Amino acid sequence: MRTDDGGLSIDHGGAISVDTEQLRALGARMRTVVSQYEDARAAVARALTLVSSSVDGERRIDVGALQRSVERIVELCVEIENACTGTLVMADAFEVVELRAQAEAL
C-alpha cells in the first residue's frame, strides 16, 4: 500500500518494508483526535450541567440523551487511545524486527 500524500506506506515484494516513522506520525495524529474527543466530551458535559440546573431545561431537552452522549464520547476516546497505543507498539515491533534482521545480516 502506498499513498503519495504523506500517508502510510507499506511496500511488499520478497520482504515487507514498513516505515516506522510514518506509523509513529500516525499515532501522534491519532492523539490529536483523542484531544478533540475530550474537548467534545467537556462541551457536552457543560451543556448537561446547564440543562440540569435549569428549571425548564429538563422538560424541553432530553437530559438522558446528553448523558448517553457523554458516556459514548468517553468510550470513543478510550477506543482511539487504544488504537493509538497499538499503532505505536506496532511501530516499535516492526523496528525491532528490522534491527534484528540488520544485525543478522552483519
What's this model's pTM, rounded to 2 decimal places? 0.68
pLDDT of residue 85: 93
Each domain of the chain, given as residue ranges in start order, spans 20-105
Query: Where do we find the cell 491519532?
Result: 30
Summarised one tens digit per residue, pLDDT across range 31-76 is 999 999 999 999 999 999 988 887 775 678 888 999 999 999 999 9
Asked whether residue 82 carries a pLDDT value surpassing 90, the answer given is yes
Residue % of the chain over a pLDDT of 90: 51
pLDDT of residue 45: 95
